[in-house]
Structure 1
Amino acid sequence: MADIPGYIHPTADVETGAEIGAGTRIWQHAQVRAYAAVGEQCNIGKGVYIDTRVRIGSRVKIQNYVSLFEGVTVEDGVFIGPHVCFTNDLFPRAITPAGTLKDAHDWKISPTSVGYGASIGAGAVIVCGITIGAYALVGAGSVVTKDVAPYTLVFGNPAYQHGFVCKCAHPLSKLKHMDGYIEGWCTSCQMQYQVETFF
């Protein structure tokens, strides 16, 4: 596979101290804060905000106007659709109980993790403190408030499970529920699966 050339658009703001992997492309008006890390061969769309200390793996595609705030970790091969928002504080306030404006030291970050190969549809809101498992699929417009198991399809507000998906993202059929896992068949790529239903 030929090396993909890296590119940072002139209007993008990549702060000193941010780590950008080889072959990653960062498009118009994106902002990558200091101490964030973006892996190799990623595509960072227009207007994406990547906060300080966010960790993003390699071959990740982040569509336009996604917001990833401190505490988010994204593993390799993840797709994040446009306008997805990751939160990072379960009890947000602009001010302290005394009425003074909060600063960075007043926030309590609740970490969020997105597993290998997972996909998050457009406009989803990911409430902090959860884990989205490998190859999980979050439907567009969902509000995700709890952990999502690997290969699980979730959608809705709040999001809940509607089935299981293949690595190709198509739904699994012919499901058989076993002790701690399910068996399923992908009619798109003709693969048989045994998927654990827990982390």
Structure 2
Amino acid sequence: MVKEFTAAELTATGLLHTGQGARISPRAVFLPADEEGVQRPVVVGTGAVIEAFAVIHGGATIGEGARIEAHVTVGCPELGYAVGRTHPGAGAATIVGDQVVLRSGAVVYAGVELGAGVLVGHHTLLRSAVTVGAGSLLGHHLTVERNTRIGRGVRCSPGSHITSSTRVGDHVFLGAGVRTINDKTLTWRDPDREPVLVAPRFEPGAKIGTGCIVLGGITVGAQALVGAGSLITRDVPAATIAYGHPARVHGQVTR
């Protein structure tokens, strides 16, 4: 079992480095070692706040003025079977940028990188190696799967699912309850078949309405607008208006 430390105990080992004015609850939990026994230090920047019952894993860097609310997990290693391989529970560098806010219940896996000023809502899950650009807002109860890249100034509304390896350009807007798909074969643990995983792509400035479903491999072009409740089965050209089930182009975006 991985040993738990308080902030004071971890400081005594030399594995916790805190900036001036940082405030860490004595009830926050630190886990410097991963499942392979590798220990990594934790860095907490000037003026950062870590509230009670937050769990911080080794390799985490918490930026200046960042706020980690109660019951947040930062830097959790992947452990067990997922996407065709078994993960051994190895830790990794996890970056929570300056002025980032992680609301209560958020879970941030190892290898995630959050740019300055990102806000992550209550009970949102960010899987391994997700990156989020500065100033983006991720709503509550959102799932962002592995290796997804989210740009700067993006708004992801509550209750959406962003599948692994999705690319979300700068200033994209995703409405509530958007569902993305990357698996064209629905293959699960079949030793004779490799899943065909092709994630969707949202070009800068695209806007996707509430309740849309986006199939694998789809590109929604820059500044395109997709109406609520649409089923997106084909690419949406840049600066067009599309909606329907399936979605069709019905006009052009005008400034």
Q: Is the CA contact (8 Å cut-off) linking 1:138 and 1:153 kept in structure 2?
A: yes
Pairwise CA distance, 1:108: 2.1
Q: Does 2:66 correspond to 1:66?
A: no
Deviation per CA, 1:150-195: give whole Å up to 9, x if none.
11100011000110113xxxxxxxxxxxxxxxxxxx5xxxxxxxxx
List aligned pairs for 1:8-19, cutoff 5 A.
Answer: 8-19=102-113
2:107 maps to a residue whose letter is D
Q: Which of 47, 54, 57 lines up with 2:141 in the alignment?
A: 47
Specify whether residues 97 and 165 from structure 1 end up closer, same or farther in structure 2 by C-alpha distance, changes over 3 A only: same
Residue of structure 2 equivalent to 1:150: 238
Q: Which of 176, 181, 204 lines up with 1:116 in the alignment?
A: 204
Pairwise CA distance, 1:97: 7.9
Unaligned runs of 5+ in 1: 167-185, 187-199
Residue of structure 2 equivalent to 1:90: 184
- The 1-side partners of 2:135 and 2:182 are apart by 26
List aligned pairs for 1:101-112, cutoff 5 A.
Answer: 106-112=194-200
1:88 maps to a residue whose letter is N
Pairwise CA distance, 1:116: 0.6
- The 1-side partners of 2:125 and 2:202 are apart by 20
Pairwise CA distance, 1:109: 1.1
Residue of structure 1 equivalent to 2:126: 32
Greater RCO between the two (CA within 8 Å, min separation 6)? 1
- The 1-side partners of 2:196 and 2:135 are apart by 32
Percent identity over the alignment? 33
Q: Is the CA contact (8 Å cut-off) linking 2:116 and 2:133 kept in structure 1?
A: yes
Give the number of the structure whose alpha-carbon radius of gyration is greater. Answer: 2
Pairwise CA distance, 1:91: 1.4
Q: Does 2:223 correspond to 1:135?
A: yes
Question: The residue matched to 1:153 in structure 2 has which SS?
Answer: strand
- The 2-side partners of 1:108 and 1:91 are apart by 6
Residue of structure 2 equivalent to 1:165: 253
Structure 1 segments, 4+ long, off by >3 Å, are none
- The 2-side partners of 1:94 and 1:113 are apart by 23
Residue of structure 2 equivalent to 1:170: none
- The 1-side partners of 2:173 and 2:99 are apart by 20
Residue of structure 1 equivalent to 2:87: none
Unaligned runs of 5+ in 2: 1-97
Q: CA RMSD in A?
A: 1.7
Residue of structure 2 equivalent to 1:197: none
Pairwise CA distance, 1:16: 1.7
2:148 maps to a residue whose letter is V
